């Protein structure tokens, strides 16, 4: 195989190290500038904090809801518990029971002892009365309102008698009324309107689409938090489905990792030694170099600013308890966006020249949205609520950077607010 | 030799480790900048950008996928191409291409690297970039097309013209 004559360039240059390296490239000359631009390795990203905050919020809401529900149910149980929960001293223990205490416990449930003679669905509730010494797993019970029946059947109280059984025996011997599961969620049987107003944080992932895949897209992306607010009107139907629409506003501003080193030499006329117009933001690295006498050089980063107004059309499914409402919603949304960009550059090498370019673009694209909402009633028809959701743009934002990047952003949000039923 | 310990210390932001890594690749990266004919007064800032990118994305480096040297080289090349894109590459019109040449460098001849650099520096920007990427760095025309946002055929023709120009230059220097 013949060798390409131009391989001499490969052999000669692929590991080329110049014999002399200028002193201005030494570490001492450049360390400060490099380290100033590096992110602090000890600083944590904001996203975990944001997620942590949302999870914490949801945890509070969830726990609060569980507490409210259980406390209400307990109070209902107390009110409904018949007097037979107290061990009546007047009850006497049949002799047949006493004699049966020493018998071995049969740990099995038979059809006979589970049903207690008839199906709870087809017969009126049976009042089960216990005698003072009744304990879990022991035999004997009396049944009313029919004439007391002495039975030697074993009653396995730790197993459900049946799903619809009206009572269970507690280990203490108390009788606990059991509410059938399908009535433990009190669904409103009416249709109603609700209005929600909420606000909170939003996190924006640009998701660059590279028209020329020159670099790992991740290296361009920098998520930033903005704010978000929503006003939403919902119509809840009997079927627990709901239809929602409204207006959502989001404002985000982020900086490019790419092109972070626009060099700007700035000075004021007549006072060339007093310069510095800092166009960077608080989280932007500033590197000072000194190549042009009488001027100071700063590195300014390009920024993008986004403002979005979205109109969602969402369909939801709602689970409602007396105090706690949970809703899952999803659907399309129409996004009206305005992107603006600004940066400052030096236009001509060696010339102190301020160049400022700004661009602004407005457009409409379609997106998808999914959301989980949890609300707790704090007063009649009023609730506080939390919303966690995700929005994905279906189309590319028309905006395209000089590097051939456009965006298909992914937006996460967490909001708290209030709701009112009508 | 850059060890895993040095990389780890760089990730922790230790200046002493950063200095070791910086010094280790300084000559190599300076050589790449010169190969792409970056002007001396701009090399400092470009080198800073390259090192900032290296230290910022060091956590993405996977030693199992290859030598850190080639990972660093790819970062440097991307940065240089970004820089050139901002400046605007000088792409030569096909009409101004040289006709033909009869001289080919001998594979047995030994050329000094500085001499080769000097030869390359005579090339127009676009030719030099494609020549560097293809011949020296081993990128395919498809990859070059993607990197420079040009078609594969453009990359091929630029390389072909670059080679012809170099042949002419070599011939003129011989005679």
DSSP notation for B10-65: HHTT-HHHHHHHHHHHHHHHHHHHHHTT--HHHHHHHHHHHHHHHHHTGGG--GGG
The residues near A229 (Cβ < 8 Å, ≥ 6 apart) are A197, A198, A199, A200, A248, A249, A415
- Chain B residues within an 8 Å CB radius of A14: 136-137
Whole-angstrom distance, CA of residue B168 vs CA of residue B100: 8
Mean pLDDT of A284-309: 51
What is the per-residue pLDDT for A153?
47
Q: Is B82 within 8 Å of A216 when comparing Cβ atoms? A: no
Contacts of B109 in chain A (CB under 8 A): 8
| Side-chain half-sphere exposure of A161, counting CA atoms within 13 A | 27
Site of tokens 């704090």:
A378
Among the listed ranges A113-122, A221-230, B126-135, which one has the minimum average pLDDT value?
A113-122
Query: What pLDDT does residue A264 have?
Result: 42
Query: What's the pLDDT at A284?
Result: 39
At residue A381, the pLDDT reads 84
What is the average pLDDT across A319-346? Answer: 76
Characterize A180-215 residue by residue with b for buried, 16 or more Cβ atoms within 10 angstroms of its Cβ, and e for exposed: eeeeeeeeeeeeeebebebbbbbbbbbbbeeeeebb
d(CA A23, CA A16): 18
Whether B112 shows a pLDDT value over 50: the answer reads: yes
CA distances from A39 to A36, B12, B116 (A): 8, 11, 39
Instruction: Report the alpha-carbon distance of residue A13 to residue A22 in Å, rounded.
Output: 19
Residue B148, SS3 per DSSP: helix
Tell which residue, A195, A236, A231, has the closest CA to residue A318: A236
pLDDT band at A262 (very low <50, low <70, confident <90, very high): very low
Report the relative pairing of strands A324-346 and A405-407 from DSSP bridges: unpaired
pLDDT above 60: residue A409: yes
- Burial classification of residue A173, based on how many CB atoms lie within 10 Å of its CB (0-12 exposed, 13-18 middle, 19 or more buried): middle
pLDDT confidence band for A412 (50 / 70 / 90):
confident
Instruction: Give the pLDDT score at B82.
Output: 82
pLDDT grade, residue A416 (50/70/90)?
Answer: very high
ipTM of the complex: 0.84
Give CA–CA dist A383/A417, Å, rounded.
Answer: 9
pLDDT score for A247: 94
pLDDT of residue B125: 83
Most confident of A205-219, A236-250, A293-307: A236-250
The DSSP bridge pattern shows strands A224-236 and A192-205 to be antiparallel
Task: Please give the mean pLDDT across all residues of chain B.
Answer: 81
Q: What is the mean pLDDT of residues A219-224?
A: 50
Nearest by CB to B15, from A24, A31, A291: name it.
A31
pLDDT, tens digit, for every residue of A33-57?
Answer: 888 888 766 554 445 556 666 676 6
Mean per-residue pLDDT over chain A, rounded: 63
Query: Which tokens hold the place of A67?
Result: 């507490």
Q: Which of A172-176, A264-268, B57-61 has the highest mean pLDDT?
A: B57-61
Q: What is the pLDDT of residues A9-18, one digit of tens each?
A: 888 888 888 8
End-to-end CA distance of chain B, in Å?
44
Least confident of A229-243, A246-260, A268-282, A340-354: A268-282
Instruction: Report residue A246's pLDDT band, with 50, 70 and 90 as the boundaries.
Output: very high
How close, in Å, is residue A235 to chain B by CA atoms?
A: 49
Tell me which chain B residue has its CA closest to the CA of residue A259.
B82
**Which chain A residues are Cβ-neighbours of B19 within 8 angstroms?**
27, 31
Compute the distance between CA of residue B163 and CA of residue B175 in angstroms, rounded to an integer: 18
pLDDT for A417: 93
Looking at residues B25-38, what average pLDDT do you find? Answer: 90
Alpha-carbon gap, residue B159 to A6, rounded angstroms: 11
Which residues 6+ apart lie within 8 Å of A49 measured at CB? Answer: none
pLDDT at A350: 38
Torsion of Cα atoms, A211 then A216 then A220 then A223, to 10°: 110
Share of chain A above pLDDT 70, in %: 39
Which of A77-86, A319-328, B94-103 reaches the highest mean pLDDT? A319-328
Evaluate whether A220 touches A256 at the Cβ level (below 8 Å). Answer: yes
3-state SS class at B111? coil
| Statement: the pTM of the whole predicted model exceeds 0.80 | no
Given a cut of 90, whether residue A215 has pLDDT beyond it is no
Q: Minimal Cα distance from B12: which residue of A?
A: A41
Contacts of A21 (CB under 8 A, 6+ apart): B26, B27, B30
Q: What percent of chain A has pLDDT above 90?
A: 10
Chain A interface disruption, residue of B49, B110, B128, most A CBs within 10 A = B49
pLDDT tens-digit readout, A135-177: 444 444 444 444 444 444 444 444 444 444 445 555 555 655 5
Of B47, B111, B131, Cβ closest to residue A25 = B47
Check residue A197 and give its pLDDT: 94
pLDDT (mean) for A299-316? 75
Taking an 8 Å cut-off on Cβ atoms, the answer to whether B131 and A9 are in contact is yes
B71 pLDDT more than 70: yes
What is the pLDDT at residue B74? 87
CB atoms within 10 A of CB A95: 9
For residue A10, the model assigns a pLDDT of: 85
Of B13, B107, B146, the CB nearest to A7: B107
């Amino acid at each position: 195989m013949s060798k390409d004559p131009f391989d001499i360039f490969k052999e000669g240059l692929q590991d080329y190290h110049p014999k002399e390296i200028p002193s201005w490239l030494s570490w001492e000359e450049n360390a400060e500038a490099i380290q100033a631009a590096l992110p602090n390795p000890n600083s944590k990203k904001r996203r975990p904090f944001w997620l942590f905050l949302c999870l914490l919020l949801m945890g509070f809401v969830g726990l609060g809801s569980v507490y409210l529900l259980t406390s209400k149910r307990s109070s209902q149980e107390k009110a409904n518990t018949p007097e037979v929960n107290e061990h009546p001293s007047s009850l006497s223990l049949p002799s047949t029971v006493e004699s049966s205490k020493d018998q071995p416990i049969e740990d099995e449930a038979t059809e006979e002892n589970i049903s207690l003679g008839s199906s709870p669905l087809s017969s009126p509730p049976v009042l089960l009365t216990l005698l003072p010494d009744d304990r879990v797993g022991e035999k004997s019970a009396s049944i009313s309102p029919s004439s007391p029946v002495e039975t030697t059947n074993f009653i396995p109280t730790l197993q459900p008698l049946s799903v619809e059984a009206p009572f269970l025996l507690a280990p203490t011997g108390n009788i606990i009324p059991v509410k059938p599961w399908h009535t433990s969620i009190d669904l409103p049987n009416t249709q109603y309107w609700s209005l929600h107003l909420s606000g909170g944080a939003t996190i924006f992932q640009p998701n660059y689409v590279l028209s020329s895949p020159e670099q790992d897209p991740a290296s361009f992306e920098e998520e930033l938090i903005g704010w978000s607010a929503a006003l939403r009107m919902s119509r809840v139907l009997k079927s627990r489905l709901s239809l929602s629409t409204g207006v959502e506003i989001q404002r985000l501003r982020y900086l490019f990792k790419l092109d972070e080193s626009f060099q700007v030499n700035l000075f004021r006329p007549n006072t060339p030694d007093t310069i510095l117009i800092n166009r960077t933001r608080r989280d932007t690295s500033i590197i000072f170099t000194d190549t042009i006498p009488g001027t100071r050089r700063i590195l300014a980063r390009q920024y993008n600013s986004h403002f979005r107004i979205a109109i969602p059309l969402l369909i939801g499914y709602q689970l409602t308890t007396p105090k706690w409402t949970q809703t899952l919603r999803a659907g399309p949304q129409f996004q009206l966006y305005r992107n603006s960009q600004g940066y400052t550059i030096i236009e001509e090498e060696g010339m102190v020249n301020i160049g400022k370019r700004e661009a602004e673009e407005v457009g409409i694209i379609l997106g998808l949205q999914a959301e989980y909402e949890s609300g707790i009633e704090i007063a009649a028809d009023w609730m506080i609520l939390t919303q966690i959701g995700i929005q994905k743009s279906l189309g590319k934002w028309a905006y395209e950077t000089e590097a051939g990047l456009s965006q298909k952003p992914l937006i996460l949000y967490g909001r708290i607010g209030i709701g009112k039923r009508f | 030799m850059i060890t895993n310990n040095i990389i780890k210390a760089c990730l922790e932001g230790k200046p002493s480790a950063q200095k070791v890594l910086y010094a280790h690749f300084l000559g190599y990266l300076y050589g790449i900048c010169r190969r792409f004919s970056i002007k001396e007064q701009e090399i400092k800032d470009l080198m800073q950008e390259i090192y900032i990118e290296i230290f910022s994305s060091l956590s993405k480096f996977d030693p199992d996928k290859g030598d850190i040297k080639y990972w660093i080289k790819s970062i440097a090349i991307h940065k240089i191409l970004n820089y050139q894109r901002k400046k605007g590459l000088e792409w030569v019109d096909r009409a101004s291409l040289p006709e033909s040449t009869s001289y080919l460098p001998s594979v047995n001849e030994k050329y000094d690297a500085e001499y080769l650099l000097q030869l390359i520096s005579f090339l127009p920007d676009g030719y030099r970039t494609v020549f560097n990427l293809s011949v020296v760095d081993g990128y395919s025309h498809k990859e070059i097309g993607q990197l420079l946002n040009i078609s594969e055929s453009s990359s091929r023709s630029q390389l072909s013209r670059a080679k012809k120009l170099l042949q002419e230059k070599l011939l003129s220097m011989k005679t």
